[in-house]
Structure formats: structure tokens, C-alpha cells
Structure 1
Amino acid sequence: MSLAICPGSFDPLTLGHLDIISRAARMFDSVVVVVMFNSGKSPAFTVEERYAFIRKSVAGIPNVEVDTYEGLLADYCALRGADAVVRGLRVMSDFEYEFQMALTNNSLHPQTETIFLPANREYMFLSSSVVREIARFGRDISPFVPPEIALDIQARLCGKEKQHERG
């Protein structure tokens, strides 16, 4: 049984992320979307919130599960016995970073391959930071995130911007 890991910070999950997850689910018997802790980032949402957003969004994909992990991706892959890590690529700068990570993970756990999936054209511009910025200014994010979580994201981030305006 083939197992793929789709790691990320997912702060928040976007339709671009969901597209990569859905495509991976068609390629592998089982896919684990894992919310990773990244010490270099200050997330807008807690790990628990991101986990819940993803669970809601992938509920209709039977071979996808969601998990969290605080540690090295290579260690998580070894723990789960993963065959592959699936990463989406939007632009060349994504490739440079992801290629470096793939080589590092391979040196730590050579049993797991990294597979790069190019973003669909409609999502090439889309990132979590773009969604956060749009939401903070009260604009509609529904074209960019799964409908199950759009209102939660909007309410949380738009509320933060309004608090900053008052403070």
C-alpha cells in the first residue's frame, strides 16, 4: 500500500493546497496531510485550528487523513513508513527551496522520494500569505479557500485587522 505525505504549515489551507492534496490522493493509496511546526514562521492560526480547517476540507476524500508533527519531516516519514513526500510548486523560487529540502530529507531518510506537482494555472499566484492579507482587509476570500473554512478564516483575520485599527 503506497503512502504519501503532504506536509506544510497550511496557514491557512488554500484551494491550491487542496488541489495538490486531491491530486496526490489519486496517485497514492493513502495520503497524510501533516501540519508541520515551522520555527521560522509566526502563524496566524494555531496548529489545532489549521488541523481542523484541513479535516473539514478533506472530509470528502476517503484516502486522506490529517495529522500534526513537531520535528523533522524525514523523521515523520520514517515513523509512518512513507513512500513519498508530495510538494506543490508554483514558481521557480519554490523549486529552489523545495529541491534543497528534498535533498536534505533524502540524505536523512533515503527510503522516501519527493514528488513535485506543478500548481494548476489558476492557483499559481495563490499562497497562504496572499489569503491572509486579503482577509485582513475584509475582502472576500471565497475564491481562494475551501468553502467549508472561508467564513472562519475571514472572521478571524478581519477581526484582527479591525483590532489593530482601534489600538
Structure 2
Amino acid sequence: MKRIALFPGSFDPFTKGHEDIVLRGLRLFDEIVIGIGRNANKQRYFALEQMMRLIEETFRDYPTVRVVSYDDLTANVARQLGARFLLRGLRNTTDFEYENGISQVNRFVYEEVETVFLITSPHLAPISSSIIRDLHRYGKEIDSFLPYKFQEL
């Protein structure tokens, strides 16, 4: 049976930390689907279509990585994709506390799904999407935190 992992998130934006989790996850899984969830309670800072295109370009040489967007429960999407694993990155204990609760609910919704946590590589741990959004909002350079060259629309 093919080991498919869904790597869910808002990815607003997708960072070098996210890229690191995907690349390391490829050692564990046959396929990784990067799922950009739409959250009705959040307004995106970077356009969804643009982010999908940039992530696809980042992994153009990795045929076992694909990108989808969704507006549903993550566990439902994993089931629809045939993914038995959810891949998540942890930067710190605060991330663990948050992710632990979500993983329990995902198991409730889709009993066969397992959440696999990878600890963020130390040199990437300080990077967060919210910090990158703040830097961008105030006109600071963000490309050094991203696995692609960001260009304004």
C-alpha cells in the first residue's frame, strides 16, 4: 500500500521551514500532498493561487509532491486523497500543544489517520509565516526565508 501523507496548512506564505519538512518527509512517505486549507475565519495575506504556483514551482523536480487547496475538514480531505498520514512540523512546545489537540480530533473524524510530527531543523525554527507577513507588510526583504523568489503580483 502506498504511503501518502497530507501536509496541511494555510502556508501564507510557504517557508523554508515548510520546505524542510516536505523534503525530510519524502524519506518516510511515497507521496506528499501539500494541502492549502481555506479558513473562513482568516483573510489570506498572499493570494492562494499565487502560493499554489510558487509551491508547485519549488517542487517541480519532485514528482511525488503535489499541491491542492481545500475547504473541508483536514481529516475528510486526507480520506478523500487516500492519505493515511498527516505530516506536521513542530518548532517548539507551543506548536506541540496546539497540534496535539488537532491530531486527536483528526483521529476522531478519520480513525485510520496517523499524525506524524517532525521537529523543525534548528536553523529554521525561528521562521514563521506570521513573522514573514509582518516583515513584508513593513517593506522588509523576505526572500531569505522562502524557498522561492517572491515577486509581487
- TM-score interval (norm. to shorter): over 0.9
Tell me how far apart the structure 2 counterparts of residues 4 and 144 of structure 1 sit (CA, whole Å): 24
Which residue identity lines up with residue 58 of structure 1 in the other structure?
A: F
1:44 equivalent in alignment to 2:29: no
Tell me how far apart the structure 2 counterparts of residues 18 and 149 of structure 1 sit (CA, whole Å): 14
1:115 equivalent in alignment to 2:94: no
TM-score between both structures, scaled by the size of structure 1: 0.86
TM-score between both structures, scaled by the size of structure 2: 0.94
Tell me how far apart the structure 1 counterparts of residues 84 and 24 of structure 2 sit (CA, whole Å): 16
Tell me how far apart the structure 2 counterparts of residues 55 and 89 of structure 1 sit (CA, whole Å): 23
After TM superposition, the structure 1 = structure 2 runs for residues 100-139 of structure 1, keeping only pairs within 5 Å, are 100-139=101-140
Higher alpha-carbon Rg: 1
After TM superposition, the structure 1 = structure 2 runs for residues 14-163 of structure 1, keeping only pairs within 5 Å, are 14-146=15-147, 148-150=148-150, 152=151, 155=152
Number of residues of Structure 1 aligned to a counterpart in Structure 2: 152
1:9 equivalent in alignment to 2:10: yes
Which residue identity lines up with residue 60 of structure 1 in the other structure?
A: D
Which ranges of structure 2 fall in alignment gaps of 5 or more residues?
A: none
Which residue identity lines up with residue 90 of structure 1 in the other structure?
A: R
Tell me how far apart the structure 1 counterparts of residues 136 and 47 of structure 2 sit (CA, whole Å): 17
- Shift in Å, 1:110: 1.0
- Shift in Å, 1:49: 1.8
Tell me how far apart the structure 1 counterparts of residues 102 and 41 of structure 2 sit (CA, whole Å): 15
Tell me how far apart the structure 2 counterparts of residues 140 and 25 of structure 1 sit (CA, whole Å): 30
Which ranges of structure 1 fall in alignment gaps of 5 or more residues?
A: 157-167
Q: Percent identity?
A: 35
- Shift in Å, 1:106: 0.2
Tell me how far apart the structure 2 counterparts of residues 37 and 117 of structure 1 sit (CA, whole Å): 23
Q: Which has the higher contact order (CA 8 A, sep 6+)?
A: 2
Tell me how far apart the structure 2 counterparts of residues 91 and 6 of structure 1 sit (CA, whole Å): 18
State the Cα deviation string for residues 40-84 of structure 1 (Å, max 9, x = none).
Answer: 322112321221121111112221011111000010011111120
Pairwise CA RMSD: 1.2
State the Cα deviation string for residues 99-136 of structure 1 (Å, max 9, x = none).
Answer: 00000000110111000100011111111111111122
Tell me how far apart the structure 2 counterparts of residues 62 and 3 of structure 1 sit (CA, whole Å): 13
